[in-house]
Amino acid sequence: MKRKVNQLKRRDFLKRTGKTALATVIMGSIGPRILGAISYDKENISIPKVLLNNGVQIPILGFGTNTLKGNIGVRSVSDAISVGYRLIDTAHIYGNEEAVGEGIKLSGIERNKLFITSKLWVADAGYEGTKKAFETSLNKLGVDYLDLYLIHRPRGDVKGSWKAMEELYEAGKIRAIGVSNFLPVQLDNLNSYAKIEPAINQIETHVFFQEEKSYPYLKKSNTQIEAWSPFAAGRNNIFNNPTLAAIGEKYNKTIAQVCLRWHYQRGVVAIPRSSQKAHMIENLNIFDFELSNEDMNTITTLDLNITQFPEWE
Ligand SMILES: NC(=O)c1ccc[n+]([C@@H]2O[C@H](COP(=O)([O-])OP(=O)(O)OC[C@H]3O[C@@H](n4cnc5c(N)ncnc54)[C@H](OP(=O)(O)O)[C@@H]3O)[C@@H](O)[C@H]2O)c1
Domains along the chain with CATH numbers: 60-304 (3.20.20.100)
pLDDT at position 40, please? 41
CA separation for the pair 78, 279 (Å, rounded): 14
94 belongs to the catalytic site: yes
pLDDT at position 42, please? 53
Ligand 1 centroid to residue 34 C-alpha, Å: 25
pLDDT at position 252, please? 98
Parallel/antiparallel/unpaired status of strands 31-35 and 24-28: antiparallel
**Which residue has its alpha carbon closest to ligand 1 atom 22?**
233
**Which residue has its alpha carbon closest to ligand 1 atom 29?**
279
Name which of 128, 191, 201 is nearest 165 in CA terms: 128
Sequence-distant (≥ 6) Cβ neighbours of residue 310 within 8 angstroms: none
CA separation for the pair 257, 284 (Å, rounded): 8
pLDDT > 90: percent of the chain:
84
Ligand 1 centroid to residue 170 C-alpha, Å: 32
Name the stretches of the chain with pLDDT < 70. Answer: 1-45
pLDDT digits (tens, 9 = 90+) for 7-38: 334 334 333 333 333 344 444 333 443 333 33
pTM metric for this prediction: 0.90
Give SS3 for 132. helix
Ligand 1 centroid to residue 108 C-alpha, Å: 24
Determine whether the shortest distance from the Cβ of 228 to ligand 1 is under 6 A: yes
Ligand 1 centroid to residue 222 C-alpha, Å: 26
Q: Which of 269, 273, 279 to mutate to test the pocket of ligand 1 (most atoms within 8 A of CB)?
A: 273
Catalytic residue chosen out of the listed positions 85, 94, 149, 264: 94
Strands (E), 152-234: 174-180, 200-204, 224-228
pLDDT at position 213, please? 85
Strands (E), 181-271: 200-204, 224-228, 269-270
